């Protein structure tokens, strides 16, 4: 008898995240991007009043109408999700079922985009930047390649960077020509501290926009999000057929009651005037707090990459990349957790969220307690300085200011 061994697609490795890591509780968690400021009473009350005794409306009709009004779009385009992680998996599956076999990303990126594709046996193509990705889309469309699923995160996790409006204009053309469908991850738009959203409304309308306010609202334990499907009126031919088929697949792949009662309450409370004005205050506070945090770390010899959101990439200039895991482990023993971005495609950097003054003081103290030997690594690059240094030592300034 011939035994047939099925050839399963390789499963993707576990995605690494910040936040709880199975170790002892941390005093200060700089490793997730959640807003650390206390919630307004309206939000706390809305969650407390979520009706846990009944199923939510399986069609989420009122919620979809409400959110449709916020974004001036038809309620049918608004699809509740149990958070953007779920939405990433579901959109990738819908794309796969509709014949798309490649996922394109700019790298570094949030790990779930590639993991979702790999779990479904799809090829993943990493691009160094959005311009390279766009050029490749044009080149490959010319030789007859079918559409690919592109993921873009604006503003980007982990870099905190924002793409230019030009990139978005070009992308609009590529979508209209049927070269790609775009998952536009808006996870951090409500936490944008600097500049404006660069995505033109007409481009956003052609993307699958993923929203999940739990980070901005500092409630990442509430699993809730929403996807706004593209407006297909502006498309024609194959592009409109593809997007309609995807919208149908995306809706029918959702489990019943994908969003919990708390999730519904969170999405509704997000748009209360009180929540919105609290968020505006948070942005102003976080901008100031982030600058202080970065200045203090710069004085200790750390360098930073620019960021438009309250998290960003930093590293101590004196540490060689190979010494970074030990330094991170040392900080962890001092109750401080930072996020190593190696798994997101950026070795040699840490991602730090912005936390208030007591957390900054403890980070500073923990850094100053680092064994000196770690900072004397021979391969530390130019501009490196030996050992953790006190605030008064100003030998290395910010590589760039946020
Ligand atoms: C860029 C990005 N997208 C999506 C998510 C996941 O969001 P959710 O908590 O809604 O699943 C995260 C979480 O960190 C993220 O950083």
* Per-residue model confidence as pLDDT tens digits over 167-202: 999 999 999 989 999 999 999 999 999 999 999 999
Distance 202 CA to ligand 1 centre (A): 24
Indicate whether 176 and 309 sit together in one domain: no
- Which is the closest atom of ligand 1 to the Cα of 85? 11
Residue 231 counted as domain residue: yes
Distance 228 CA to ligand 1 centre (A): 16
Q: Is the pLDDT of residue 387 over 80?
A: no
Indicate whether 216 and 364 sit together in one domain: no
Indicate whether 17 and 148 sit together in one domain: no
* Per-residue model confidence as pLDDT tens digits over 265-275: 999 999 999 99
Tell me which of 225, 246, 271 is where a domain ends.
271
Residue 280 counted as domain residue: yes
Residue 100 counted as domain residue: yes
For position 27, which CATH number holds? 3.90.1150.10
Residue 19 Cβ < 6 Å to ligand 1 = no
Residue 141 counted as domain residue: yes
Residue 2 counted as domain residue: no
* Per-residue model confidence as pLDDT tens digits over 29-81: 999 999 999 999 999 999 999 999 999 999 999 999 999 999 999 999 999 99
Residue 147 counted as domain residue: yes
Please state the domain count of the chain.
Answer: 2
Indicate whether 163 and 218 sit together in one domain: yes
Distance 85 CA to ligand 1 centre (A): 6
State pTM to two decimals: 0.90
Instruction: At 40, give phi and psi (nearest 5°).
Output: -75, 150
Residue 82 Cβ < 6 Å to ligand 1 = no
Question: Could you list the residue range(s) of the whole structural domain that residue 95 is in?
Answer: 49-271
Residue 151 Cβ < 6 Å to ligand 1 = no
Residue 349 counted as domain residue: yes
Tell me which of 243, 271, 299 is where a domain ends.
271
Name the pLDDT band for 143 (thresholds 50, 70, 90).
Answer: confident
Residue 80 counted as domain residue: yes
Asked if residues 107 and 340 have their Cβ atoms less than 8 Å apart, the reply is: no
Distance 153 CA to ligand 1 centre (A): 10
* Per-residue model confidence as pLDDT tens digits over 94-138: 999 999 999 999 999 999 999 999 999 999 999 999 999 999 999
Indicate whether 245 and 116 sit together in one domain: yes
Q: In terms of DSSP bridges, do strands 180-185 and 78-81 run parallel, antiparallel, or are they unpaired?
A: unpaired
**Cα separation of 155 and 172, whole Å?**
18
For position 113, which CATH number holds? 3.40.640.10
């Amino acid at each position: 008898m011939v035994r047939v061994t099925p050839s399963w697609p390789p499963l993707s490795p576990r995605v690494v995240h910040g936040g709880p890591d199975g170790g002892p509780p941390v005093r200060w968690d700089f490793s997730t991007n959640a807003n650390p400021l206390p919630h307004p009473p309206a939000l706390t009350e809305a969650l407390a009043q979520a009706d846990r005794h009944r199923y939510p409306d399986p069609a989420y009709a009122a919620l979809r109408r409400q959110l449709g009004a916020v974004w001036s779009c038809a309620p049918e385009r608004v699809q509740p999700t149990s958070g953007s992680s779920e939405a990433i998996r579901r959109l990738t599956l819908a794309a796969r079922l509709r014949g798309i076999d490649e996922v394109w990303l700019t790298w570094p990126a949030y790990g779930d985009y590639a993991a979702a594709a790999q779990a479904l046996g799809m090829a993943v193509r990493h691009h160094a930047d959005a311009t390279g990705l766009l050029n490749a889309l044009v080149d490959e469309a010319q030789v007859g390649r079918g559409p690919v699923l592109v993921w873009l995160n604006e503003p980007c996790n982990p870099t905190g960077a924002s793409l230019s409006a030009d990139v978005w204009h070009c992308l609009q053309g590529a979508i209209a020509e049927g070269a790609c469908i775009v998952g536009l991850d808006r996870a951090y738009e409500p936490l944008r501290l600097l500049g404006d959203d660069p995505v033109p409304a007409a481009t956003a309308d052609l993307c699958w926009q993923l929203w999940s306010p739990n980070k901005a609202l500092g409630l990442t334990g509430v699993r809730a999000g929403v996807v706004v499907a593209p407006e297909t009126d502006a498309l024609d031919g194959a592009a409109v057929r593809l997007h309609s088929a995807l919208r149908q697949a995306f809706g029918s792949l959702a489990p019943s009651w994908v969003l919990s009662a708390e999730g519904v309450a969170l999405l509704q409370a997000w748009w209360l005037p009180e929540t919105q004005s609290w968020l505006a205050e948070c942005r102003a506070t976080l901008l100031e707090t982030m600058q202080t945090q970065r200045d203090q770390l710069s004085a200790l010899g750390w360098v930073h990459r620019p960021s438009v959101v309250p998290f960003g990439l930093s590293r101590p200039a004196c540490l060689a990349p190979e010494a970074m895991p030990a330094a991170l482990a040392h900080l962890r023993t001092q109750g401080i957790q930072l996020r190593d971005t190696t798994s997101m495609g950026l070795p040699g950097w840490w991602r730090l969220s912005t936390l208030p003054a007591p957390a900054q003081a403890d980070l500073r103290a923990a850094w100053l307690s680092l064994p000196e030997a770690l900072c004397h690594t021979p391969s530390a690059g130019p501009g490196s300085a030996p050992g953790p240094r006190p605030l008064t030592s100003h030998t290395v300034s910010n590589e760039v200011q946020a």
